Amino acid sequence: MTNAFRAVKEQQMSVSKASIQFGVPTTSLRQRVRGRVDPEVISSGPSPVLSQEEEAMFVDHLKFMASVGYGYTRMEVVNMASEYAVCLHKRDKEHPFSMKWFERFMKRWPELNVSKLELCRWLGLKQPAKR
């Protein structure tokens, strides 16, 4: 898309010719050329509620807690992120984040991973305390 945009702007190539040559949708290219869509935008849809920096702080907290042995469940992450957004006045309590938000969040932060409770740890919790 970027190469097609440059070809139209710099080389005075037509939008239809550039879309064919670079294999991009004509309408999408035309919207960028006319200024309706920012040429740097890659994905469609609304931008995330939390900024990159705010999410980075949240991710740092999740990583720190995991390093000291406390991993959060999916729902705990969603609830904490919702509370964080409410504190930042970016969301209200009546509209918390959903599991769909969590899925997109995980795609934005691939270094995070969801892991299951280790079997040995689970078995250790099931055994009665020894006296």
Q: What is the CA radius of gyration of the chain?
A: 23
Tens of pLDDT, residues 29-45: 898 888 887 777 666 67
As a whole number of angstroms, the distance between CA 130 and CA 32 comes to 69
| Domain ranges within the chain, ordered by starting residue | 2-33, 52-114
- The per-residue pLDDT for 118 is 61
Place of tokens 């702080």: 57
Pair 80, 71: CB distance under 8 Å: no
What sign does the CA torsion over 33, 35, 39, 43 have? Answer: negative
Place of tokens 């670079």: 22
Helix/strand/coil (H, E, C) string of 65-97? HHHCCCCCCHHHHHHHHHHHHHHCCCCCCCCCC
127 falls in which pLDDT band (50, 70, 90)?
low
Higher pLDDT, 126 or 50: 50
Tens of pLDDT, residues 84-97: 999 999 999 999 99
Tens of pLDDT, residues 19-32: 999 999 999 889 88
Burial 23-37 (b: 16+ CB within 10 A, else e): ebeeebbbbbbeeee
Lowest mean pLDDT among 51-60, 68-77, 108-117: 108-117
As a whole number of angstroms, the distance between CA 71 and CA 66 comes to 5
120 falls in which pLDDT band (50, 70, 90)?
very low
pLDDT tops 90 at residue 98: yes
Q: What is the DSSP letter of 125?
A: H
